Amino acid sequence: MGLLLLLTSTLLSSYFHPGIMVDAQRIFTIRDITLSIEPSTDVVRGTNVTVRCKAIVSSFGQEVLSREYTIYKGNNKVYTKNSSTSEDLLYPLPDARVSNTGKYHCRINIKGEEMNSRVEKLTVTGLSKPVLHLDKDVFSEGEEIMATCTAPGETGSIFFYLHEGNNVLREGLVNTNHFETKFRFSRVGIHGIHCKYTVITMPDSFMSNESNILSVSVEELSIKPVLEIFPQTKIYEGDPLNILCTIRNLARPDNIHLYLSQGIKLLSSGNTKVNHSIVALASEPGDFECRLEMGNVAKVAAKTVLVTELFSVPTLTMSPAEVFQKERMTLTCKSEIASERLNRGELIYTLEPDSPLTPLAPGVFSGKALLYDFNYTCVAKAKGIVKRSETLTVCPKISVSTPKISVEGKAVLGQPFKIRCQSDVGSLPINYTLLKGYDQLGTISVRLPQPALFTVTITKPEEIKEYMCEAKNNHKNAPLSQRLNATVIEPLMGLTLTVTPHLPEISEGDHLYLICGTKGTPPVTFKWYRVGKEQPLHTTTSEKNNTDYQVPNLSKAHSGTYYCEAVNHANNIVRSEEVTIEVRLALWKKAVIGGVCLLVVSVLVVGSVLYFRSKRGKREAAAELSVEGGQSCSQCVE
């Protein structure tokens, strides 16, 4: 605080004492900066626009500050100027164009201190009408045309379009107000073309009106290709064809090329003449083309030749429609005779590749089906013409093997369970039939490599062996499985709890047996409980229908109520009746207690006897003393 007061007083003294030289730092602040657009932010094309940047700066001292002004259009610098005065910065836009449209702001910088103005948007409307110019209006076929489209007085980035009707011929982006391009017309005749342009001011763009329409006349060249084919009619497969491609009205042979093609296949080429010979085939396209190219001009002559078939493409069939491995089958190859030029005897049939099938007649082959899939193709030949049928894939089916029958999961007496039936091999689909004895219970058709599952319920264990299954897949054989052999689980029933020794004889120190027994299929899990406790006293699994839980060296603490539970793979839990056990005293304890009791009684008796005896002795002594005293008194009296 003291330093600030000292500096202030020194600066003030320099004003009132000019003879004193003080080298102090000048103090200033940028209070505000604004940008304005004159005469308005919305103007029409051709208006003289001024962008004004005004800054308010407060400073301490007489020296003028150096100011750097920068004007931005969007994010781009468009004008920068240094000034030592406080006058406003003016950025003129004379004869404004649409390209001047955009968002403007200015920035001032004084010794590193900066401030930006608010953004103002200038919108300039109105575009000049484009002008289209051609170097001439009459052209020969294939001749190059030079076109110039001008946007009078426009500036900025301009995208030009050259149109014929609604079709764009050329387009391009330039930074000038004119666009030059070259092009050719592929069609002769009169063409009307015009142009237009778009001024791009990111992120906006402005489209002009269409220019004047100019008519262009394109005249055809007299030169033409000529295509000749011999013979011209009644062409059959195998006939030779002579094809000639030439030029009519050839003025000069410079820069000329001929191309002869059949469909998309190029047959031959040359300069002024092309001659080519082929054999006519109905399977190949009959469209021929003679193409003339001279510079950028291309002309085409085309003809279509109709070729009559001698015989049709053969078809290959099999009988029967389905065949199993090693079964006899017949392949038949047949073509239709389509011309009087061919006799059926001239048509020869073969199979590709070679196979063990034996020819029985023309086009008929017989033999046994292979053990694997095989592809056959029929080849028909006559007069040098070869035709192949579509490939026939013979997939011999595999006869179904003897099915295997089993239980899916477990078979519980009286509960539904599933019987699984499946063959190891066999072509799909396979029909599986479940039989009980020889009665059909149901059929399942399997179309995927998976077993057939049948749901049944039995009431007797011996019923399980009555089930069999049959498999069939259109083969004459329908193998039958063996009888079902599986373990039948009988649910538990009649659980009893037996106690050894007998209840009235249980005493301390005895060895207790709690025996649980039930009826049903082992293994059986037994659990022993004592009433009042949730957890079992003991759990064990036995391969028998009964087992025991032993409690050695009984004490009174073992007295209570007991029961047991049992469960097997049938998952039905059975519970015994409750048994109450009272542990009595051991025999020796009873004897000790009896002896002690007798001893106590004996002591009491002896004590009582002695007590009564002592009482009687005292009474007798007292009586004797009394008698003696009487006698003495008598004597004294006397």
Q: How far apart are CA 240 and CA 277, in angstroms?
A: 7
Torsion on CA atoms 499, 503, 506, 511, rounded to nearest 10:
0
Tokens 């003449």, residue located:
273
Q: How far apart are CA 541 and CA 41, in angstroms?
A: 99
Cα of first residue to Cα of last residue in the chain, in angstroms, is: 153
Sheet containing strand 178-183, edge to edge, reads 131-134, 145-150, 178-183
Q: Which domains does the chain have, with CATH numbers?
A: 28-125 (2.60.40.10), 131-219 (2.60.40.10), 224-305 (2.60.40.10), 315-394 (2.60.40), 403-489 (2.60.40.10), 493-581 (2.60.40.10)
Total residues belonging to the chain: 638
Q: Quick one: average pLDDT of 364-375?
A: 91
Name residue 350's amino acid. Answer: T
Residue 158 has pLDDT above 80, yes or no: yes
Name residue 332's amino acid. Answer: T
**Buried b vs exposed e over 408-423: b needs ≥16 C-beta within 10 Å?**
eebbbbeeebbbbbbb
Residue 18 has pLDDT above 50, yes or no: no
Q: Quick one: average pLDDT of 106-126?
A: 93
State the pLDDT at residue 611: 74
State the pLDDT at residue 26: 52
Q: Which residues pair with 178 in a beta bridge?
A: 150
* 234 or 458, greater pLDDT: 458
Q: How far apart are CA 277 and CA 373, in angstroms?
A: 43
Q: Quick one: average pLDDT of 364-387?
A: 91
Cβ proximity of 208 and 128 under 8 Å: yes
Residue 612 has pLDDT above 80, yes or no: no
State the pLDDT at residue 466: 94
Q: How far apart are CA 510 and CA 555, in angstroms?
A: 8
Q: Where are the alpha helices (DSSP H) in 445-497?
A: none
Q: Which of 341, 249, 223, 235 is nearest to 288 (CA)?
A: 235
Q: Which residues pair with 230 in a beta bridge?
A: 242
From 79-88, 491-500, 540-549, 595-604, the region with the lowest mean pLDDT: 595-604
State the pLDDT at residue 175: 93
User: Do you find a cis peptide bond into 39, omega within 30 degrees of 0?
Assistant: yes
Instruction: Enumerate residues 6+ apart whose C-beta is below 8 A from 399.
Output: 324, 325, 426, 427, 473, 475, 477
Q: How far apart are CA 108 and CA 81, in angstroms?
A: 10
Q: What percent of the chain has pLDDT over 90?
A: 59
Per-residue pLDDT tens over the stretch 249-288: 776 656 788 999 999 999 999 888 899 999 888 888 889 9
Q: Quick one: average pLDDT of 229-244?
A: 88
* 109 or 65, greater pLDDT: 109
Residue 32 has pLDDT above 80, yes or no: yes
State the pLDDT at residue 252: 64
Cβ proximity of 193 and 169 under 8 Å: yes
Cα 215 to chain centroid distance, Å, stands at 58
Band (pLDDT 50/70/90 cuts) for residue 10 is very low
State the pLDDT at residue 251: 63
Q: How far apart are CA 241 and CA 283, in angstroms?
A: 15
Q: What is the mean pLDDT of the chain?
A: 86
State the pLDDT at residue 621: 58
State the pLDDT at residue 298: 85
Q: Which of 290, 283, 301, 286 is nearest to 266 (CA)?
A: 290
Q: Which of 182, 187, 196, 185 is nearest to 135 (CA)?
A: 182
Per-residue pLDDT tens over the stretch 538-565: 999 999 999 999 999 888 889 999 999 9
Name residue 239's amino acid. Answer: D
Residue 412 has pLDDT above 90, yes or no: yes
Torsion on CA atoms 460, 465, 467, 470, rounded to nearest 10:
180
Q: Which of 498, 506, 510 is nearest to 554 (CA)?
A: 510
Q: Quick one: average pLDDT of 460-464?
A: 92
Greatest Cα pair distance, the chain, in angstroms, is 219
* Greatest mean pLDDT range, 168-182, 494-508, 592-606: 168-182
User: Do you find a cis peptide bond into 429, omega within 30 degrees of 0?
Assistant: yes
Q: How far apart are CA 592 and CA 599, in angstroms?
A: 10
Q: Quick one: average pLDDT of 140-163?
A: 90
Structural element, H or E, at residue 604: helix 587-637
How many C-beta neighbours within 10 Å does residue 452 have?
Answer: 23
Q: Quick one: average pLDDT of 608-619?
A: 71
Q: Which residues pair with 455 in a beta bridge?
A: 418
Q: How far apart are CA 83 and CA 111, in angstroms?
A: 13
Query: Taking the alpha carbons of 519, 521, 527, 531 in that order, is the dihedral positive or negative?
Result: negative
Cβ proximity of 528 and 516 under 8 Å: yes
